[in-house]
Chains A and B, each alone.
Chain A
Amino acid sequence: MKKMLDKELRLATSPLAWVFLAAAMMAFLPGYPILMSAFFIGLGTFQSFQAVRESNDILYTALLPVPKRDAVLAKYLSVCFFQMVGFAMMTAVTAVRMTLLKDAAVYRTNALMNASPVFLAFALLIFTAFNVCFLGGFFKTAHAIGVPFLAYGVVTLLLVTVGESLHFFPGLRFLNAPGGERMGLQFCALAAAACVYALLTVLSCRASIRRFERIDL
């Protein structure tokens, strides 16, 4: 699988996927829906899938001396790789905002979501939406990317709306404290989101393998 991941990064990944990782830095922006940074990382990966379709990558991969299912597994692994790099960058930004910049006026008066463990939890849910809606949808045909990306966009819009407005609900104001409050609860939410990410990604990958095995290339 190491060879397959290497092949994904060297042949199938669009340079834009790397560029869009910089969107993780958008989590520094005050007065901006910072959950969109997770969406943009997905958008970067989507660029790779456009390149995959144009370069006939799926056919090339299916002809390599590996089981057909490995073509799917490699795609999931490379997408998760980008998501984890993006997540690590967002975690670093969150840590800086919650410590060094916790007293910055722009964050104290920020009407939108502040960076916190719950922000990271929602970012993981957006990555999950990408893996389920986009990747799962793509492997129904191994070429159509429009409808799966639209589905990902709609689910992400809902998640961003909920995430960004959560702290306006009674009793949830603590979610937007720049320095963090009730951190135990917030880390529990992050752990739960990590479990959802892992579980649904694995289930989506299994379903995609089943579908891909039935596709005529």
Chain B
Amino acid sequence: MNVLEIQGLCKTYPGFYLDNVSFSVERGSVMGFIGRNGAGKTTTLKSVLNLVRPEAGEIRYFGLDLAKHEGEIKKRIGYAGGAVDYYKRKKIREVVAVTRTFYDNWDESEYRRFLNLFSLDENKTPAQLSEGMRVKLNLTLALSHKAELLILDEPTSGLDPVSREELLEVFRYLRDQGVSVLFSTHITSDLEKCADDITYIARGRLITSSPLADFLRRSAAEGAGSSLDEIMVHYEKESLYEKNAG
């Protein structure tokens, strides 16, 4: 069963067009969302959260239309767009005290568990935390209301290698619990450690959305490379000379 289905998503910005993007995320799977800077990853993720208004397309969570069931759907998903960048001067305790009132499914013991796991101090303000610690705070908030789907935009950027490994372990744990994870990243080695599926977007167009193992096998057979890094370079690198000539 799919927890998220995106059909024909289109969005235009000056100099950029997100062109008819469609993919779906299965329950209990980890999907990596990759692409170069400016490929359309954040626009896609913001569209599926109704932060950006797409010109066309259908977005369904758990079989429900986002436009008609926005409040209900947002209770069942968690989002972390990198580091916490709101209420930086308020104590974490104060922000959480308000945030938890919006979730019937808020799990205080999970919240405490992740605070301990990530060594976060509630009496600090986000402004007093490093970038990496603010990413962990965002994740803690997203993980504390028993979300069935986590949507994470660059969650591992800014994290040290140990924290990244811990986070990937959290993803694997969540997958075993039946939680789905959709996360964008530039660090493709993270995907190779934990992703089941991959969605690859380039210049606003979908290149593939398929099981990671299938994509790697197919690309190797086509001579595009054997790792995600090599494959991305193969598909997207334009030489400086070609650019100048163009």
Q: Which residues in A have some Cβ–Cβ distance to B below 8 Å?
A: 3, 6-7, 10-11, 55-57, 59-60, 62-68, 70, 213-217
A11 contacts B95, C-beta separation under 8 Å: yes
In the complex formed, the residue of A with least CB distance to B79 is A63
Contact B51 A57 (CB under 8 A): no
CB-CB under 8 A for A65 and B74, given A11-B98, A59-B51: yes
Is B37's beta carbon under 8 Å from chain A?
no
- Chain A proximity of B201: nearest CB distance (Å): 18
Give Cα A1–Cα B245 distance, bound, in whole angstroms. 59
Interface residues on chain B, size class: 20 to 34
Closest chain B residue, CB of each to CB of A55: B87
**B103 on interface, CB distance cutoff 8 Å:** yes
- Select which of B75, B94, B103 is within 8 A of A10 by beta carbon: B94
List B54-105 residues whose CB lies under 8 Å from chain A: 70-75, 79, 85-90, 94-95, 97-99, 101-103
Interface residues of B (CB under 8 A from A): 46, 49-53, 70-75, 79, 85-90, 94-95, 97-99, 101-103
Point out the residues of chain A lying under 8 angstroms from B74, CB to CB. Answer: 63-66
Q: How many A-B residue pairs have CB under 8 A?
A: 65
- Cβ-defined contact, B90 with A216, below 8 A: no
Q: Decide: A65 near B85, CB < 8 A? Known: A11-B90, A11-B95, A216-B52.
A: no
Query: Given A64-B74, A68-B50, A217-B51, A3–B86 Cβ distance below 8 Å?
Result: no
**Which of A10, A11, A62, A63 has most B Cβ within 10 Å?**
A63
Q: A11-B95, A55-B88, A217-B46 are in contact. Are A6 and B101 (CB under 8 A)?
A: yes
| 10 cross-chain pairs, A with B, having the tightest CB-CB distances, nearest first | A65-B74, A56-B86, A65-B75, A60-B86, A217-B51, A216-B52, A67-B70, A55-B87, A7-B98, A66-B71
Q: Smallest Cβ distance from B214 to chain A, in angstroms?
A: 33
A3 touches B101 (CB 8 A): yes
- Assess whether B53 is in contact with A57, with CB atoms less than 8 Å apart: no
Asked if A6 and B51 make an inter-chain contact with CB atoms under 8 angstroms apart, the answer reads no
B94 touches A11 (CB 8 A): yes
Of B70, B86, B99, the residue contacting A55 (CB under 8 A) is B86
- B52: chain A residues at CB < 8 Å are 216-217
Instruction: Known A-B contacts: A63-B51, A66-B74. Give 9 more (CB < 8 A).
Output: A7-B98, A10-B97, A10-B98, A55-B87, A57-B86, A59-B51, A63-B79, A66-B102, A215-B53
**CB-CB under 8 A for A59 and B102, given A10-B94, A66-B71:** no
Provided the pairs A55-B86, A55-B87, A57-B87 are in contact, do residues A63 and B98 lie with their beta carbons within 8 angstroms? no
Q: In angstroms, how far is the closest chain B Cβ from the Cβ of A213?
A: 7
* In-complex Cβ contact of B102 among A3, A56, A57 (8 A): A3
Determine whether the beta carbon of A6 is less than 8 Å from that of B98.
yes
**Residue with the highest number of chain A CB atoms closer than 10 Å, among B46, B49, B90, B101:** B101
* CB atoms of B71 and A55 under 8 A apart: no
Residues of chain A lying within 8 A (CB to CB) of residue B50: 62, 68
Query: How far apart are B10's CB and chain A's nearest CB, in angstroms?
Result: 14
Query: How far in angstroms is the closest Cβ of chain A from B76?
Result: 8
Instruction: Flag if A59 contacts B71 (CB, 8 Å).
Output: no
Docked complex Cα distance between A29 and B70 (Å): 50
Kindly report which residue of chain A lies nearest to residue B141, judged by CB atoms. Answer: A63
A66–B99 Cα gap in the complex (Å)?
12
The minimal Cβ–Cβ distance linking B12 to chain A, given in whole angstroms, is 11
B47 CB to nearest A CB, Å = 9
The CA-CA distance from A194 to B209 in the complex, in Å, is: 58
Question: With a CB–CB cut-off of 8 A, which chain A residues contact B46?
Answer: 216-217
CB distance from B57 to the nearest CB of A (A): 14
Cα distance, A67 to B50, chains bound together (Å)? 9
For A62, the chain B residues whose CB sits under 8 A away are 50-51
B98→A65 contact, CB < 8 A: no
Measured CB to CB, the closest approach of chain A to B139, in angstroms, equals: 14
Which B residues lie within 8 Å of A65 (CB)?
71-75, 102-103
